[in-house]
Structure 1
Amino acid sequence: MGRGRPPTPLQTWGSLHTSQVRPGAFRARTRVRDDDGMTRQVTAMGTTKAAAERALREKLVRRSPPTTASMSHQLPLRDLAALWLAFLRSEGRLEATTINEYERLLHRAVLPQLGDLRLRELSTSRVEAFIVDLAATSASRQRKAKVVLGAMLDMAVRHDALVVNPVRQTSRLRRPKTETRALTLGEVRRLRAALRDSMTSDRSGPRESPDLTDVFELMLATGARIGEVLALRWSDIDLDSAPPTLTITGTIKSEPGRATYRKDSPKTDSGVRTLALPRFAVAMLRGRQREQDPNDLDAVFVTRNGTWHQVVNMERRWRRVRESAGLEWVTPHILRKTVATLISERVDAEAASKQLGHSSSAITREFYIAKPALAADVSDLLQELADSAHDEGSPR
């Protein structure tokens, strides 16, 4: 008994059949076997038999078979963006704040320019031109837009809506080389003076809280991120141990539609760390313990309403202080770089990396340690090269 005709291979079609529908109108048709094993009919029209068959062949070449999530190369990019964001939220791997940042970037930078294009229209040259133009806005936005657009189109590739991701074929972005900058001891003194002045200056509204001054001191004492410092609880601090210690176990998060909250893990897994405290930080914390009323959060830094401080509010107050000190360039992150630079100079980069909670000392070296203006004094060591010559006599 014969086995019968073998099935048509996937993504191929059979013979073309053409018929005249009416004078001057011909229909060409064939059957295509898609990746899901289903066979579907595809047709095209033309004014002649040859024109109809030519139109059908072109349609077959451009055709994208049905895929999961109703995704095809005909899908507009803005619809893919909605599917991608929904996937990220359902996956639960990324923080809600990170996904919200992606969404803002898409609506502000990517979709206004590319949102109405179909996936099949996103050629490498078109994507390249878009990314290059973003450099005029900011190098940071250009880099982030490329990452987000690339990840989104990777999803289209996984669902067979695209064969290749055009973002992966674009030119590599060159990160502008900038010198890492850290505070000098003189600049630290200027900032402390500006913080003191902010507490005593005449201003309308309620009296300034001392929290910003103490947050500044604790960031200098630990190299911790501002969100990590604001998330500290008294249960994370042991002032009676030898040496006194502080353990970073969380960070502060703010999301639309939700009150600011403490996330019970820092930015990265390596961010969980216990740090020895210098004497000036211990003195400051003991003072806060004596003067601060207990709160339901067990928070070291708490608002007048008994809630966690928002990072953005603290940074807003910090901008006023740094401007009054004539140090507009000093962001809270500069304090981390100052700590890393000092530890690297006195110990090594590996110790600085562990203090900051980095997963690799290479990150610390590249982005957090300022290069000294003067190289280490090794003149006595180099003098030995001349002394050895005198010991052996002058050369002939």
Structure 2
Amino acid sequence: MVRAPLPLGTHGNITYYEQANGHWQARARYRDYDGVTRTVKRNGHTKNAAMLNLKTHLAERRHASATAHLSPNSTLKDLAEIWWEEFQTKGKATSTQHRYRYDLDRLILPGIGQLKIRECTVGTLTSFLKAVSRNNGQQTARVVKNILKGMFDVATAYDAAPRNPVKDVTLAPPKKKETKALDYMDALKLKGLLTGEVREVLEIMLGTGCRVSEVLALRWRDFDFSAPSKVRVSINGTLTRDENGHYYRQDHPKNKRARAAILPPFVAQMLIRRRDTEIPAHARTTAWAEPDMFVFPSTAGTLQDPNNFRRKWREQVKGTDYEGVTPHNIRSTVATFLNENADLTTASLQLGHSGTEITARHYVRREELAPDSTAILELYGREVQS
């Protein structure tokens, strides 16, 4: 009777041989992932030591081989390891890699990491993604779906799945958010309401159209005060999360293109005053504003967590007419104001967009008042003589 081959990545019984020098050798037949069964040997001073050395080697051999092999019985955790190694070679933005790793570790692996690939049906993945959407929001659910799609693309490439089930998962379409922008007078009233660095950050956003994460990433070296009447700022970074969820300064904005802007006088004057007279919590004298220092540092003198800033913002607008207004609304406020008083191209360039379509779709508030057509519609007011 022909002996059945060992399953891939497994070994047979371990046998032991005492050598002439008194040491021991442990041997076992092991079937590698290329389908070839080989005899593997390891020595030790004692029989037990030889066994442990052999088992350690077999475990390492199995792990090394498994990176090039997947089966329907492999877990999503195994699949994730192989997908991640391949994903890191695709040249994605660092922030994207950090976001994907963060959501993989905090949502996918704890949630369904122990499922086998063959157990991941369309229904199973739909239920999981709906739970993510419900508990973590639609945007996060879409990111997690993209990760899973990439993972199962790898699974199908390795013949571990007949097809990619994620392609048939349907999530509810994202709700279209209405662009929320303040009127000119409301922006001025909000500025008068805020105090301290919260007001100062608002002033930079009003004067540049920057995101709050871009403002908090500004260092004194990013400003050129050589011409007091035309102070320039280089918007060349932003704050983003790493794979552990901690913020760091990324040396380019969200769209990877640095941009420069001339500051309105009220913003330039505020910055000069802040640099020369204000003393933040971490400092003792006005000598704190070194070139590499953040303009709006934390109490420890490091970068300020955007979530902490948003908390300060909410505390100052709580109970006012502007409760619910967020820093992101200011970006839309600037875009709408420039579109109304200049043109859409100016608004797009100020915000650093690659074209006017993004500005028009997401940042410029739509005019609710219909155009004045009274001269035409007044024709309906005529009386017909019978």
TM-score, normalised via structure 1 length = 0.68
- Does the CA contact (< 8 Å) of 1:67 and 1:161 recur in 2? no
**Aligned pair in 2 of structure 1 residues 175, 261: CA closer, same or farther (>3 Å)?**
closer
Which whole-Å CA distance do the structure 2 matches of 1:302 and 1:113 have between them?
37
Which whole-Å CA distance do the structure 1 matches of 2:185 and 2:295 have between them?
28
Which whole-Å CA distance do the structure 2 matches of 1:258 and 1:141 have between them?
14
- Does the CA contact (< 8 Å) of 2:209 and 2:335 recur in 1? yes
Give the percent of matched residue pairs that are identical in Structure 1 and Structure 2.
Answer: 32
Instruction: Provide the secondary structure at the position in 1 that maps to 2:139.
Output: helix
- Does the CA contact (< 8 Å) of 1:191 and 1:321 recur in 2? no
Matching of residues 182-193 of structure 1 within 5 Å: 182-193=181-192
Q: 2:354 maps to what in 1?
A: 359
Which residue, 216, 236, 248 being the options, matches 2:202?
Answer: 216
Instruction: Provide the secondary structure at the position in 2 that maps to 1:174.
Output: coil
- Does the CA contact (< 8 Å) of 1:232 and 1:299 recur in 2? yes
Matching of residues 32-181 of structure 1 within 5 Å: 69-88=68-87, 93-95=92-94, 98-137=96-135, 138-171=137-170, 173-181=172-180
Matched, 1:307 2:305: no
**Aligned pair in 2 of structure 1 residues 356, 163: CA closer, same or farther (>3 Å)?**
farther
**Aligned pair in 2 of structure 1 residues 131, 252: CA closer, same or farther (>3 Å)?**
closer
**Aligned pair in 2 of structure 1 residues 117, 141: CA closer, same or farther (>3 Å)?**
same
Instruction: Provide the secondary structure at the position in 2 that maps to 1:300.
Output: coil
Which whole-Å CA distance do the structure 1 matches of 2:2 and 2:84 have between them?
47
Q: 1:235 maps to what in 2?
A: 221
**Aligned pair in 2 of structure 1 residues 301, 184: CA closer, same or farther (>3 Å)?**
same
| Structure 1 residue 218 displacement after superposition | 0.2
**Aligned pair in 2 of structure 1 residues 282, 379: CA closer, same or farther (>3 Å)?**
farther
**Aligned pair in 2 of structure 1 residues 327, 154: CA closer, same or farther (>3 Å)?**
farther
Matched, 1:368 2:350: no
Describe the superposition over 1:4-27 as per-residue Cα deviations: whole angstroms up to 9, x where unpaired: xxxxxxxxxxxxxxx699xxxxx8
Which whole-Å CA distance do the structure 2 matches of 1:157 and 1:331 have between them?
44
Q: 2:253 maps to what in 1?
A: 266
Instruction: Provide the secondary structure at the position in 2 that maps to 1:145.
Output: helix
| Structure 1 residue 153 displacement after superposition | 2.0
Matched, 1:286 2:272: yes
Which whole-Å CA distance do the structure 2 matches of 1:167 and 1:310 have between them?
35
The gaps in structure 1 that reach 5 residues or longer are 1-18, 22-26, 30-36, 42-65, 197-209, 387-393
- Does the CA contact (< 8 Å) of 2:231 and 2:268 recur in 1? yes
- Does the CA contact (< 8 Å) of 1:227 and 1:311 recur in 2? yes
Which whole-Å CA distance do the structure 2 matches of 1:231 and 1:74 have between them?
46
Describe the superposition over 1:69-116 as per-residue Cα deviations: whole angstroms up to 9, x where unpaired: 332322111222244345545766332x54443344334443444322
**Aligned pair in 2 of structure 1 residues 377, 217: CA closer, same or farther (>3 Å)?**
farther
Instruction: Provide the secondary structure at the position in 1 that maps to 2:261.
Output: strand
Which whole-Å CA distance do the structure 2 matches of 1:352 and 1:126 have between them?
45
Which whole-Å CA distance do the structure 2 matches of 1:221 and 1:182 have between them?
15
**Aligned pair in 2 of structure 1 residues 286, 154: CA closer, same or farther (>3 Å)?**
same
- Does the CA contact (< 8 Å) of 2:221 and 2:291 recur in 1? no
| Structure 1 residue 309 displacement after superposition | 2.3
**Aligned pair in 2 of structure 1 residues 347, 153: CA closer, same or farther (>3 Å)?**
farther
Q: Which amino acid aligns with 2:318?
A: E
Which whole-Å CA distance do the structure 1 matches of 2:290 and 2:301 have between them?
7
**Aligned pair in 2 of structure 1 residues 104, 38: CA closer, same or farther (>3 Å)?**
closer
Q: 2:53 maps to what in 1?
A: none
**Aligned pair in 2 of structure 1 residues 359, 165: CA closer, same or farther (>3 Å)?**
farther
Which whole-Å CA distance do the structure 1 matches of 2:86 and 2:307 have between them?
28
Describe the superposition over 1:105-163 as per-residue Cα deviations: whole angstroms up to 9, x where unpaired: 33444344432221122222332343345444332333232222212222323444334
**Aligned pair in 2 of structure 1 residues 90, 177: CA closer, same or farther (>3 Å)?**
closer
| Structure 1 residue 192 displacement after superposition | 2.4
- Does the CA contact (< 8 Å) of 2:214 and 2:237 recur in 1? yes
| Structure 1 residue 261 displacement after superposition | 4.4
| Structure 1 residue 224 displacement after superposition | 0.6
Which whole-Å CA distance do the structure 1 matches of 2:274 and 2:100 have between them?
38
Instruction: Provide the secondary structure at the position in 1 that maps to 2:239.
Output: strand
Which whole-Å CA distance do the structure 1 matches of 2:134 and 2:167 have between them?
21
Which residue, 339, 346, 349 being the options, matches 2:341?
Answer: 346
**Aligned pair in 2 of structure 1 residues 331, 157: CA closer, same or farther (>3 Å)?**
farther
| Structure 1 residue 259 displacement after superposition | 8.4
Matching of residues 373-392 of structure 1 within 5 Å: 373-377=368-372
| Structure 1 residue 310 displacement after superposition | 2.5
- Does the CA contact (< 8 Å) of 1:219 and 1:229 recur in 2? yes
Describe the superposition over 1:281-334 as per-residue Cα deviations: whole angstroms up to 9, x where unpaired: 122123223325332524333345433322222222112122243433222111
TM-score, normalised via structure 2 length = 0.69
Instruction: Provide the secondary structure at the position in 1 that maps to 2:68.
Output: helix
Which whole-Å CA distance do the structure 2 matches of 1:258 and 1:178 have between them?
26
Which whole-Å CA distance do the structure 1 matches of 2:158 and 2:123 have between them?
23
